[in-house]
């Protein structure tokens, strides 16, 4: 049987599957539907310093091969997270990463600092797709600002792995990936959702109350694979920084694409709404795939994609 374990900058997971932030609640919301001990890791929804009610409905709409959401970071805020959710996370049967969002440097730093002392939290994932209240500029789309934010957060998280989650809504994702790595990110995750819009043709209005939202699901998968490949080859491989790939992963074949493109782990979001046991099915498929090609360890597959111009190497597919 192939070895599915993976290693994210020293963070060892029994298998490469994770949940995508915001699609699985804070802890045990999915426990009735899926055996959480089978996950490589669980990622919470975004936590902010202040409690947030989020946007007005409609804040989720289904689109062809995808989903558009404008939840608006609805969450209980740091104080309630610590009081109500952390006791639950302590009982989680798999490693946990907490996703943190903010609207100022201070927001991020204060919330992340509170995570450093929590033994039940192995890693913090920064959601940097939020605008800064001071000037409206998104943290994750301006490389110097992203580097600064990553550096400030890294200082208050000496005991945790720091994951920076990249936005795809940029001209050159390798520039933001490099900024995150230079700021001290241990791990990169990509991608967050793509800004998009759906129209109600009868009302002649946007279907989301917020007008625009983030597109996720199978519709974005080929773009996400391309971005993972670019970041792996352009930044992550040479820096030795592992990637968590996400965006439209539904079947084990999707996971293989991301892993070949350079991901050391894969996260599942929108597909959980169709089948919460998707990560378990992905692991079963990965095992069969690795056995079929007599590949002993999943990690041997990471970045094994061959592109024109690459040095030829021994292919497991012959
Ligand atoms: C309903 C919903 C809520 C989300 N909430 C968050 C969030 O709170 N923080 C975050 O970093 N990403 C959030 N995301 C983005 C996902 O974590 C993920 O990056 C994206 O959906 C792509 O993966 P997928 O196609 O498998 O869903 C959300 C996505 C969806 C569909």
166-213 residue pLDDT tens: 999 999 999 999 999 999 999 999 999 999 999 999 999 999 999 999
Q: Is the pLDDT of residue 16 over 70?
A: yes
Length of the chain: 318
Token pair 């965006």: residue: 247
Nearest-CA residue for ligand 1 atom 14 is: 22
120 is catalytic: no
**Angle, vertex CA 218, rays to CA 55 and CA 255, nearest 5:** 115
- Looking at 1.10.287.130, 3.30.43.10, 3.20.20.70, 3.40.50.720, the CATH number of the domain 6-301 comes to 3.20.20.70
Atom of ligand 1 nearest to the CA of 46: 8
pLDDT of residue 233: 98
Helix (H, G, I), strand (E, B) or coil at 250: coil
245 CB within 6 A, ligand 1: no
Atom of ligand 1 nearest to the CA of 218: 25
Cis before 58 (ω within 30): yes
Question: Quick one: pLDDT band at residue 317, thresholds 50, 70, 90?
Answer: low
Active-site residue, from 20, 94, 130, 283: 130
H helices of the chain, where? 77-80, 86-89, 105-116, 143-156, 173-183, 221-231, 237-239, 252-261, 278-292
- Model pTM score: 0.97
Nearest-CA residue for ligand 1 atom 26 is: 269
Q: How many CA atoms lie within 13 A of 4 on its CB side?
A: 25
pLDDT of residue 311: 84
248 CB within 6 A, ligand 1: yes
For ligand 1, the distance from its centroid to the CA atom of residue 20, given in whole angstroms, is: 6
Neighbours of 7 (CB within 10 A): 12
Q: Is the pLDDT of residue 13 over 80?
A: yes
Nearest-CA residue for ligand 1 atom 15 is: 192
Residue 101 CA to its chain's centroid (Å)? 13
Nearest-CA residue for ligand 1 atom 5 is: 22
pLDDT of residue 315: 63
Q: Is the pLDDT of residue 3 over 90?
A: yes
75 CB within 6 A, ligand 1: no
Q: Is the pLDDT of residue 32 over 60?
A: yes
**Mean of the per-residue pLDDT values of the chain:** 95
pLDDT of residue 130: 80
pLDDT of residue 136: 77
Nearest-CA residue for ligand 1 atom 6 is: 22
Atom of ligand 1 nearest to the CA of 45: 8
Q: Is the pLDDT of residue 318 over 60?
A: no
217 CB within 6 A, ligand 1: yes
For ligand 1, the distance from its centroid to the CA atom of residue 115, given in whole angstroms, is: 21
d(CA 146, CA 181) in angstroms, rounded, equals 10
250 CB within 6 A, ligand 1: no
- Bridge partners, residue 195, by sequence: 214
Q: What is the pLDDT of residues 233-255, one digit of tens each?
A: 999 999 999 999 999 999 999 99
């Amino acid at each position: 049987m192939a070895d599915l374990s993976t290693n994210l900058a020293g963070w060892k997971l029994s298998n490469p599957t994770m949940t995508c932030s915001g699609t699985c609640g804070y802890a045990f919301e999915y426990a009735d539907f899926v055996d959480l001990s089978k996950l490589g890791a669980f990622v919470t929804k975004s936590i902010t310093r202040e409690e947030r009610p989020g946007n007005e409905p409609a804040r989720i709409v289904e689109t062809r091969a995808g989903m558009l959401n404008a939840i608006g970071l609805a969450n209980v805020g740091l104080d309630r997270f610590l009081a109500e959710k952390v006791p639950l996370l302590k009982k989680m049967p798999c490693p946990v990463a907490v996703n943190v969002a903010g609207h100022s440097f201070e927001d991020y730093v204060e919330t992340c600092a509170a995570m450093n002392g929590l033994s039940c939290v192995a890693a913090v994932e920064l959601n940097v797709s939020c605008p800064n209240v001071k000037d409206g500029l998104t943290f994750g789309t301006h490389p110097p600002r992203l580097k600064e934010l990553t550096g400030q957060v890294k200082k208050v998280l000496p005991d945790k792995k720091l994951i920076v989650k990249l936005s795809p809504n940029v001209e050159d994702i390798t520039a933001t990936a490099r900024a995150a790595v230079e700021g001290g990110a241990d791990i990169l995750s990509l991608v967050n959702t793509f800004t998009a819009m759906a129209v109600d043709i009868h009302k002649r209005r946007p279907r989301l109350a917020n007008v625009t939202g983030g597109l996720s699901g199978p519709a974005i998968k080929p773009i996400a694979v391309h971005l993972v490949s670019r970041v792996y080859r352009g930044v992550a491989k040479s820096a030795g920084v592992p990637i968590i790939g996400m965006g439209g992963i539904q079947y084990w074949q999707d996971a293989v694409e991301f892993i070949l493109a350079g991901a050391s782990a894969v996260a599942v979001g929108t597909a959980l709404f169709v089948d919460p046991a998707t990560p378990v099915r992905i692991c079963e498929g990965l095992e069969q795939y690795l056995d079929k090609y007599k590949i002993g360890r999943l990690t041997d597959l990471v970045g094994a994609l061959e592109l024109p111009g690459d040095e030829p190497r021994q292919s497991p597919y012959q």
